[in-house]
Amino acid sequence: MSNRNDDDDLLDALGVVAEPVKVASRSAFVERIIAGFEDIQRFYEEHKRQPVNSEGLDIFERLYAVRLEQLRKLPEARAVLVQFDTHNLLGSPATHNVKIDELSEDALLAELGVSAEPSSADDITVLRHVRTNADRQAAEEIADRTPCKDFKTFKPLFEQAERELKSDTRKALRFGRDANIQLHDFFILEGQFAYVAEMGESFKTQTSHTDARLRVIFGNGTESNLLLRSLQKALWKDETGRRLTSTDMGPLFADQAEPEDIESGTIYVLRSQSTHPYVTEHRELIHKIGVTGGKVETRISGADKDATYLLAGVEVIATYKLHNINRVKMENLFHRIFSVAQIDISIDDRFGNPVKPREWFLVPLQVIDEAVQRVKDGTIADVVYDLSTAEFKNI
């Protein structure tokens, strides 16, 4: 048997250079692009459709849609990914392309919604929120403020609101997604008081949402003419964004306690995590409305074993803190207001017996928020809920 040295000498004599086989390796940059594309593929395999960038959808789906659109425009990225594109997600080459060599790696990854830095040893991609044009415009509108020439007219209102907040006459409540905004409402946005001084005629957007042009005065002496939905989005995205409650609490919020009143109560709005087909299809619109004198968390513990909660976990979407309210009257009022929107489904309880829960309603969150505000200001008796338009109509 010849030894290793003899083999090397023979190869050398034949003019053959013995070198180790080089294994092609991908750069971390390419790996991140591939990993980002795999996220899109997993979405397609789970939902049997391509992701869509549309307002109201899950943020990750919108991110995947933006990323896929960018990948289709990048010929070099397509060259890398075509061997992995088992579902033909990249489609035909785009008519207008962006050259990768014109962008830095960080800029390109930012375009694709992929972080340039790994989040951990096991996770080489970090998803970030890719804002839509509408989101960017909303942010620009909020930032586009001008000096308020007649601020002296509004200054006493801000001073009074601050005094009422300190004395607990008003409360600062977390602003829910798409919650209602009305004329003369006070908010806290980015650490500043904001007052809705004027509201124009309402109109429907292309996505069938109700919108209006506002004149908003800020506590620092500036103002902005922005859209109602732009203010909604800004308040919801601001973790410190708050609504100041009205000082007029209406007839259900008395100063003196009565029988069946609770000293301090909470109206809560829940969203179900049930896998029932109807609930899954309309999850963003189906809500349970209730009132409790204790902690909401305690009230909903064990929801997955209770037919009242559709035998599934629930998510607390919104809460409204109240004082001296009649719990029975309050719950009955909300159930009467939205009776036309009560869902009609049947589920089997844990013993196999069919149950029809009666406290779930097909109502958008912003409408529930409006109902609470109307209860407070006493105008709830002047309107009825129109199921066909998902809005309140004057009687």
Alpha-carbon gap, residue 52 to 65, rounded angstroms: 5
pLDDT at residue 285 tops 80: yes
Token pair listed for 393? 């109509």
Question: Is residue 323's pLDDT more than 80?
Answer: no
pLDDT at 256 over 60: no
Question: What mean pLDDT value characterizes the chain?
Answer: 75
pLDDT tens-digit map of 155-201: 888 988 888 888 777 778 877 665 678 888 899 988 889 999 998 88
Which SS3 state, helix, strand or coil, does residue 349 take? Answer: coil
Angle at 385 between CA 236 and CA 258, to 5 degrees: 80
Answer whether 378's CB lies under 8 Å from 250's CB: yes
* Residues 30-54 pLDDT 10s: 777 787 788 888 888 888 899 988 7
Mean pLDDT of the region 275-285: 88
Q: What does residue 189 show for φ and ψ, rounded to 5 degrees?
A: -130, 120
Helices (H), 87-215: 105-112, 133-143, 151-166
Query: What is the band of 387 on the pLDDT scale with cuts at 50, 70, 90?
Result: confident
> In the chain, where are the structural domains located?
28-130, 134-244, 261-394
Phi, psi of 224 (to 5 degrees): -150, 135
Q: Could you report the per-residue pLDDT of 329-342, keeping only the tens digit for each?
A: 777 788 888 888 88
| CA distances from residue 21 to 17, 18, 30 in whole angstroms, order as listed | 12, 9, 22
